[in-house]
C-alpha cells in the first residue's frame, strides 16, 4: 500500500501546489472556447447575409479554431513554467523519425492547401471534373480536399495532387456550354439534320433558350458527316442528367425525322 499512498500523496501535493495554475488554465479554456463559439456564430451570420461565401467562411472558422488552440497551449505552458527548450527538444527527438518519412509529403500538401485557399481555383459547392469523374467540392482542408461524387462517394484528394493535375471547374451556377456529336450519311440533307438536332433540346429541362442552341458541321469522316449540337445550361450539378436527357431527345428527334445516325454506311452499301 505504500506505493499507492506515495502516489496519492504526491498527486495531492502537486494538485495543492498547482491549484491556482489549474484554475487559471481551466478558465482560459472556457474563455477561449466561448470566444471561438462566438466567432463561429458571427462568421455564420456573415455567410447567411452573403457577406462571406462558403469557402471564406470555412477558412476563417479554421483559423479561429487553430488560433484559439495554439493560444491555449502557450498559456498553459507559461502557467506551469514548463521550459519551451525542453519541450522542443523532446518533440524533435520523438518526432524525428516520423518527420523524416512524412514531412516532405505533409509539408508539400500543407503548402498546396494554403495556395488553394488563397488562390481559390474552386470553392465549396463547385462542380468539378477531376480524374475522369464529376464531383462536388465538399471541404478544403490544409492537407486534403474532400469531394463528393454523384454516387455519394467521398473522395479525399491530397492538395499537392490537385495542384499537379488539371481540374475542370464548372462552378455552382455558371452558364456552361455542352456539346453532342452525331454522324449522318452524306446522302442526308445537312439542313434537315440541323433542324432535327435543334428540335431535340427544346423539351429538355435545364437547357437554356438564351444563349440559343446551335449546330455546326464539325468533321468530314470517311463514310459520314459529323454534326455537333451545342447547348447551354446553368446548373452544373445536374450536368450528367441533362446530358442523358439531351442524348435521348436527339435519338428520338432523328428517329422521327428519318435520319439514320448509325455509322456502318459502308456495310449497307456492300450488302
pLDDT digits (tens, 9 = 90+) for 62-111: 777 877 787 877 777 777 665 555 555 555 555 555 555 555 677 788 88
HSE of 32 in the Cβ direction (CA atoms, 13 Å)? 19
Radius of gyration of the chain (CA): 31
HSE of 190 in the Cβ direction (CA atoms, 13 Å)? 12
Mean pLDDT to the nearest integer, 198-224: 93
Q: Model pTM?
A: 0.61
Cell numbers describing residue 253: 428527334
Would you put residue 191 in left (φ > 0), alpha (ψ -120 to 50) or beta? Answer: alpha
Please give the angle made by the CA atoms of 202, 205 and 209, to the nearest 5 degrees.
Answer: 50
Bridge partners, residue 129, by sequence: 134, 168
Lowest mean pLDDT among 58-62, 227-231, 246-250: 58-62
Tell me the pLDDT tens digit for each residue of 144-195.
Answer: 899 999 999 999 999 999 999 999 999 988 999 999 999 998 889 999 999 9
Report d(CA 245, CA 98) in Å as an integer: 52
Coil, helix or strand for 51?
coil
Report d(CA 130, CA 225) in Å as an integer: 31
Report d(CA 169, CA 236) in Å as an integer: 10
**Burial of 141 per CB tally in 10 Å (0-12, 13-18, 19+):** middle
Confidence of residue 228 (pLDDT cuts 50, 70, 90): very high
Alpha-helix runs per DSSP H in the chain: 2-17, 19-48, 54-79, 84-119, 159-164, 190-199, 239-256, 265-270
Report d(CA 28, CA 140) in Å as an integer: 29
Structural domains of the chain, ranges and CATH numbers in brackets? 2-119 (1.10.287), 127-171 (2.30.30), 176-270 (3.30.70.100)
Cell numbers describing residue 182: 452525331
Cell numbers describing residue 137: 467540392
Buried b (16+ CB within 10 A) or exposed e, 6-28: eeeeeeeeeeeeeeeeeebbeee
Amino acid at each position: 500500500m505504500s506505493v499507492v499512498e506515495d502516489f496519492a500523496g504526491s498527486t495531492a501535493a502537486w494538485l495543492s501546489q498547482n491549484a491556482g495554475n489549474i484554475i487559471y488554465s481551466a478558465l482560459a479554456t472556457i474563455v477561449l472556447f466561448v470566444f471561438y463559439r462566438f466567432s463561429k456564430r458571427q462568421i455564420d451570420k456573415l455567410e447567411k447575409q452573403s457577406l462571406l461565401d462558403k469557402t471564406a467562411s470555412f477558412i476563417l472558422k479554421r483559423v479561429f479554431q487553430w488560433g484559439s488552440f495554439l493560444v491555449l497551449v502557450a498559456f498553459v505552458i507559461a502557467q506551469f513554467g514548463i521550459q519551451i527548450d525542453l519541450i522542443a527538444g523532446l518533440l524533435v527527438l520523438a518526432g524525428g523519425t516520423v518527420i523524416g518519412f512524412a514531412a516532405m509529403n505533409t509539408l508539400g500538401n500543407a503548402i498546396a492547401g494554403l495556395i488553394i485557399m488563397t488562390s481559390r481555383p474552386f470553392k465549396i459547392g463547385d462542380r468539378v471534373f477531376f480524374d475522369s469523374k464529376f464531383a462536388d467540392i465538399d471541404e478544403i482542408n490544409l492537407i486534403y480536399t474532400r469531394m463528393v461524387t454523384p454516387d455519394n462517394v467521398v473522395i479525399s484528394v491530397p492538395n499537392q495532387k490537385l495542384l499537379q493535375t488539371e481540374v475542370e471547374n464548372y462552378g455552382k451556377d455558371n452558364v456552361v456550354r455542352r456539346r453532342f456529336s452525331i454522324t449522318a450519311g452524306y446522302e442526308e440533307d445537312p439542313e434537315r439534320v440541323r433542324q432535327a438536332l435543334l428540335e431535340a433540346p427544346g423539351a429538355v429541362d435545364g437547357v437554356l433558350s438564351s444563349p440559343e442552341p446551335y449546330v455546326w458541321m464539325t468533321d468530314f469522316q470517311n463514310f459520314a458527316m459529323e454534326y455537333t449540337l451545342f447547348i447551354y445550361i446553368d446548373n452544373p450539378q445536374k450536368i450528367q442528367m441533362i446530358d442523358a436527357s439531351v442524348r435521348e431527345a436527339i435519338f428520338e428527334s432523328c428517329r422521327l425525322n428519318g435520319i439514320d445516325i448509325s455509322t456502318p454506311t459502308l456495310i449497307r452499301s456492300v450488302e
